[in-house]
Structures are given as structure tokens and as C-alpha cells.
Structure 1
Amino acid sequence: MSSMTEPTTATTEDTWVERGQEIDSPDRLRDYVAEIRATASHMQTGLGRAAWGALTGRSWLETPNRPGVPEILGEHLEMTITPPGTTAADATLRQSLATLLVALDAVDRATLTVWLAHVAAKDPARTA
């Protein structure tokens, strides 16, 4: 069984659920969402760097002028048309990595919206 399908311990599996069910105020919700944002950001950065290494054969640390996630997406992953000679397996890998990186970016954007809503609820005229 691969590590991706092996069962995790109950504590690891339930941490976010347990913390979420303890929320009892908008301020605590804001803090919880901030932690989700930080976690998603770290996941996006790590996945982008791992994808770079897997696709180029050179680890991100061994790369001069290290690219960020937007550059990795634009140069290696996003495809509206499959480049000539690309195998279906390679195209699927690249498309799925791009989708996951974009989804993590969507989490980041959604958590920012939650923060803005929290600020606006307290003081609609406050500068964001």
C-alpha cells in the first residue's frame, strides 16, 4: 500500500475537525481561517517546488534563479493545448499538478475574503 493510501492516525486526521468544532466567536473563526491560509500557502509552495524538481530533474534548491509558483505554472504546467509529442500520461500529470496548485491558490483567495468580511462586519468604512 502506498503512503498516500495508508490510513493516518485519528489525531492527525481529526485535528482540523476538532479545532473547527471548538470555534465559538467570529474572532476565533478569523484565527482558524488564518491558520488554514498559512497551511494552504505552505502546501502550495512545497508542491510547486516538488513539481519543479520532478519535471526538470533538478531540485528547486539546486536551481539558480529559483522560480516561484506562478512561473512554474506558466512555464511547465498550464496547458490549453497539449504540446506536440507530449504523452497522455505526462499531460495528465502536469494538468493535475496545475489544478491542485490553482486550487490551493483559491483557498488563499477565499481565506482573504473571509478576513475582509470579518473586517467589514466590524467596521464597514475601515480601509482594507
Structure 2
Amino acid sequence: MAEVTYRRGDRDDRPWGRWEVLDTGDGFAVKRISVDPGAILSLQLHHHREEHWIVARGRARVTRGEEVLELDRSQSVFIPVGTAHRIENPGEEMLELIEVQIGDQLDENDIVRLEDRYGRR
């Protein structure tokens, strides 16, 4: 059985915006991620989960390994386990993503920050 410590309704404000847990189950969690205009999340990787991101509103610049992708509304991207990744909002409106995490450990402890504009580790 997977370890999922997220609970529906969990949320957190971050320097770049906020996230909220929409649903969880055995081995999965679904989050809404809202990224402020001009903001960027840390370059990070996860050892225990893969992620699927779907752009619901706005435009996303996604780093996935060595690739940089530009995604518009309704486009999606898959982030494999262990792959360095980040999201940036290059636009002037709020960016909203739906993130589906799948793995055997789903919590904030499975974040390895490689680079962070806001000085977090």
C-alpha cells in the first residue's frame, strides 16, 4: 500500500503561488497548482512519484530534464520519477495546473530542490 500523507483540502501558500489537494487515493494525489504571473517553482525532482500536469488556465513554461516546453490550456506533460523539472508562468494571468501524482510515497518530503529563486532548500 502506498504512503499518501496528503488529505483532501490540504493547501499551502508558496512564494510563487499556492497548491491545494483536490483528492487522494491508494497511490495517487490530485492537486490544483496556481502560479502567479512571472513566478517560477524550484527546479526539483522526486524519488518516489511521477507527475502528470494538465494546463487548465494560462500558459506554462515547463522544464523537464533538458527540454523546455511551452504549454497552453488543455495541453499536458508527463514527468517521470527522478527527472528534474519545474513550472514557470511567463504570462500576465494566473496559471492553473491540475497535477496528478502517482507513486509509493506522496508527501512534501519527496522534494529534492536543485535550484530555487526563493532560497528554499
Identify the structure with the greater helix proportion.
1
Shorter-chain TM band:
under 0.3
Higher relative contact order (CA 8 A, sep 6+): 2
TM-score, length-normalised on structure 2? 0.19
TM-score normalised by length of structure 1: 0.18
Q: Whose Rg is larger?
A: 1
